[in-house]
């Protein structure tokens, strides 16, 4: 069996008499565990040649100005030309970003990503006339074009333009907004570089006497420590460091929120929430409905937290730093990447042989799809990136635990969703909405836990798996709903001119943190320091993104249960109407066609019943 290089999980090096935990360099990671950006460009020289060609080609798009309404065939030629350049630009940007994310300290990769962003701005400016010009046509003409076979790939786009007519501006205004897009990305880019590379983090000595440099990866590891004093120290030092930089973080997040609010106003939306949801035909009432549908079940969440306290044998108050360790003494399994290669396809068998074959291909050593282990300078977390016509590239930070197994399953759900959408749809309809993106990934997690629970008879191991599922529910449904409520209130405060200072953001976050975790009911003691946690969450820079984790979890749970109960016909319906659908319909309609109606209370009730039933089972097994 292959093993990760020493250092990924803690290679020891002597430092002042104490051993130190250090991440390996990129060169120490065997190639079989690295992704292959060569699927996009052979090397940086080829990338640079393409950058120069794009720089020369983008201005040529001006040739179509004033000619888009002459005929359906002429419009089809123009849109296809624009999309060919867009695809090339996406490859250029993806290659630079993948290099950067494996070492955010690299000035070369950073310069490449900046150059790609500039070309995106140039492309946006060069094509800013397209939508105003199309909307200058009569409605009947646009509808006729949408029905023309020459524009079959663009019918959704043209009809969407009609729906969004009120929010598309004139040529000059669209060019101005396109030019400002690079500035709009700056707060997140600064945050990402600062939090990943430049922020000074403290060290601590773990229970084995090793000096550990805190980082996002090390925080994620040690917050799960079974040693209470250790995780308490990690929390205090990690969040203390964030508190020290709180004014920097508030400026970055405030700048990002101000940008999205500016764009919403410029496009004549009533507010930023409407600008994020309405283009996808999602009513803004859905957002508050989602928060209400979850928070009415906080009692069930508090019951689970009380159970955790008992399982962890905590005397006195349960604190926020007690939230992450697995609350079972036995069943603390380690999962190597090689075990994940076998388990994940087995768990996905309900989706059929085509799906599992793709999974095995992605997971194979040397496939080039996955970047498995953490290394020095590598971006934290995990994601899947896809460029049309190429296999996805998946970033992981695998640390041989159940969370790593679950995260790999999750990200491969995204990767195969992209693969199947790209195979099933033409380029203009392949890029599925963010609203549907999390469904495919969380669906896979649901099948994984069902598979593991289904084969496990040992009470100890069932306790472990139930704990893992309930904690996943906590982290995805209750935690992300808290994030969603924080984000909504932060935008509202900005709109009201109240200012987003570090202290005001921390007060808001602490208020929500305490309500969700039952501080006033004595369920969990949430100390004031942890109000700074908002500074740690990158998704707050994504413009109303986090609620989609919640809706995705609820929809995925309902769809997975449907597939498990109804078998192959339901699986085929899910694959054809969801995974292969791209953006060929509105996201709510895609989910409805796949088998779940998110505008009803039924999927929420079903998911909460499952949460409660598994809490009860864990209670019974733990008596």
Question: What residues does 21 pair with on adjacent strands?
Answer: 12, 212
Given its phi and psi angles, is residue 137 left (phi above 0), alpha (psi -120 to 50 degrees) or beta? beta
Q: What is the DSSP string of 426-478?
A: -HHHHS--HHHHHHHHHHHHHHHHHHHHHH---HHHHHHHHHHHHHHHIIIII
Q: 356 to each of 277, 341, 383, 398, 444, how far by Cα in Å?
A: 33, 11, 20, 21, 11
| Catalytic residue from among 117, 411, 487, 580 | 411
CA distance 9 to 208: 14
Q: How many whole angstroms separate alpha carbon 463 and alpha carbon 326? A: 10
Residue with tokens 């907004």: 177
Residue 37 near residue 14, CB atoms below 8 Å? no
- Taking the CA atoms of 603, 605, 608 and 612 in sequence, report the sign of the dihedral they define: negative
The DSSP element (H or E) to which 273 belongs, if any, is helix 272-277
**Nearest CA among 491, 501, 485 for reference residue 258:** 491
* Cα radius of gyration (the chain): 25
d(CA 51, CA 324): 45
**Are 570 and 593 spatial neighbours (Cβ–Cβ below 8 Å)?**
no
d(CA 363, CA 342): 9
Partnered with residue 213 across adjacent β-strands are 203
* C-alpha to C-alpha distance for 139 and 143, rounded to whole angstroms: 6
Ordered alpha helix ranges (H), 401-433 = 402-424, 427-430
Residue 411 bears catalytic tag: yes
Q: Which residues contact 435 (CB under 8 A, 6 or more apart)?
A: 280, 282, 548, 551, 552, 587, 588
- Report the alpha-carbon distance of residue 235 to residue 38 in Å, rounded: 40
Four-residue CA torsion sign, 492, 496, 498, 499: positive
Three-state SS at 317: coil
Angle at 396 between CA 394 and CA 399, to 5 degrees: 155
Return the H-helix or E-strand segment holding 370. Answer: strand 370-371
- Check: CB of residue 436 under 8 Å from CB of residue 425: no
Residue written as token pair 């508090």 = 302
State how far the alpha carbon of 183 is from the alpha carbons of 71, 176, 189, in Å.
36, 11, 10
**The pair of three-digit structure tokens given for residue 69, joined into one six-digit string:** 């309404």
- Distance between CA atoms of 529 and 546, rounded to whole angstroms? 23
CA quadruple 110, 116, 117, 122: dihedral sign: positive
Q: Smallest Cα–Cα separation from 383: which of 437, 346, 327?
A: 437
From CA 156, how far away is CA 177, in angstroms rounded? Answer: 23
**Pair of tokens at residue 562:** 């449907």
Catalytically annotated residues: 411
């Amino acid at each position: 069996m292959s093993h990760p290089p020493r250092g990924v999980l803690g290679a020891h090096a002597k430092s002042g008499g104490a051993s130190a935990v250090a991440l390996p360099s990129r060169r120490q990671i065997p190639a079989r565990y690295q992704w292959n950006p060569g699927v996009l460009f052979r090397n940086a020289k080829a990338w640079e040649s393409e950058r120069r060609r794009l720089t020369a080609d983008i201005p040529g798009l001006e040739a179509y100005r004033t000619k888009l309404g002459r005929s359906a065939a002429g419009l089809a030629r123009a849109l296809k030309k624009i999309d060919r350049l867009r695809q090339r630009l996406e490859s250029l940007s993806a290659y630079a970003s993948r290099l950067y994310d494996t070492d955010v300290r690299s000035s070369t990769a950073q310069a490449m990503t900046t150059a790609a962003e500039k070309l995106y701005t140039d492309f946006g400016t060069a094509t800013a006339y397209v939508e105003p010009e199309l909307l200058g046509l009569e409605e009947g003409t646009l509808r006729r074009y949408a029905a023309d076979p020459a524009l079959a790939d663009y019918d959704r786009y043209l009809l969407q333009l009609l729906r969004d007519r009120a929010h598309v501006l004139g040529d000059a205004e669209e060019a101005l907004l396109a030019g400002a897009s690079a500035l709009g990305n700056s707060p997140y880019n600064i945050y990402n570089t600062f939090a990943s590379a430049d922020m000074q983090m403290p060290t601590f000595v773990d229970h084995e006497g090793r000096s550990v440099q805190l980082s996002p990866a090390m925080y994620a590891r040690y917050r799960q420590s079974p040693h209470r004093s250790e995780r308490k120290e990690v929390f205090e030092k990690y969040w203390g460091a964030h508190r020290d930089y709180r004014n920097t973080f508030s400026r970055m997040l405030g700048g990002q929120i101000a940008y999205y609010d500016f764009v919403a106003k410029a496009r004549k939306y009533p507010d930023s929430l409407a600008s994020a949801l309405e283009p996808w035909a999602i009513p803004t009432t859905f957002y508050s409905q989602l928060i209400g549908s979850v928070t009415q079940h906080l009692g069930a969440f508090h019951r689970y937290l009380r159970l955790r306290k008992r399982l962890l044998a905590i005397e006195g108050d349960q604190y926020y730093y007690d939230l992450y360790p697995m609350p079972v003494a036995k069943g603390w399994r380690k999962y190597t990447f090689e075990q994940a290669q076998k388990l994940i396809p087995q768990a996905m068998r309900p989706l059929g042989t085509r799906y599992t074959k793709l999974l095995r291909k992605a997971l194979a050593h040397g496939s080039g799809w996955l970047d498995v282990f953490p290394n020095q300078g590598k971006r934290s977390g995990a994601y899947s990136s896809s460029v049309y016509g190429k296999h996805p590239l998946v970033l992981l930070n695998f640390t041989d635990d159940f969370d790593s197994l679950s995260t790999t399953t999750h990200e491969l759900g995204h990767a195969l969703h992209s693969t199947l959408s790209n195979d099933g749809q033409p380029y203009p309809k392949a890029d599925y909405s963010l609203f549907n993106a999390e469904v495919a990934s969380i669906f896979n997690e649901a099948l994984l836990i069902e598979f593991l629970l289904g084969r496990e008879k040992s009470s100890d191991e069932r306790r472990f798996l139930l704990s893992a599922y309930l904690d996943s529910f906590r982290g995805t449904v209750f935690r992300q709903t808290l994030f969603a409520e924080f984000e909504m209130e932060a935008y509202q405060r900005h709109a009201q001119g109240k200012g987003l200072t570090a202290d005001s953001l921390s007060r808001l976050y602490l208020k929500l943190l305490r309500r969700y975790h039952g501080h006033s009911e004595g369920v969990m003691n949430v100390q004031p320091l942890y109000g700074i946690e908002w500074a740690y969450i990158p998704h707050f820079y994504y413009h109303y993104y986090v609620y989609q984790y919640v809706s995705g979890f609820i929809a995925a749970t309902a769809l997975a249960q449907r597939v498990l109960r109804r078998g192959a016909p339901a699986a085929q319906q899910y694959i054809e109407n969801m995974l292969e659908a791209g953006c060929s319909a509105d996201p709510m309609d895609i989910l409805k066609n796949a088998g779940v109606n998110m505008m009803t209370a039924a999927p929420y009730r079903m998911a909460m019943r499952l949460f409660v039933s598994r809490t009860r089972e864990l209670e019974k097994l733990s008596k």
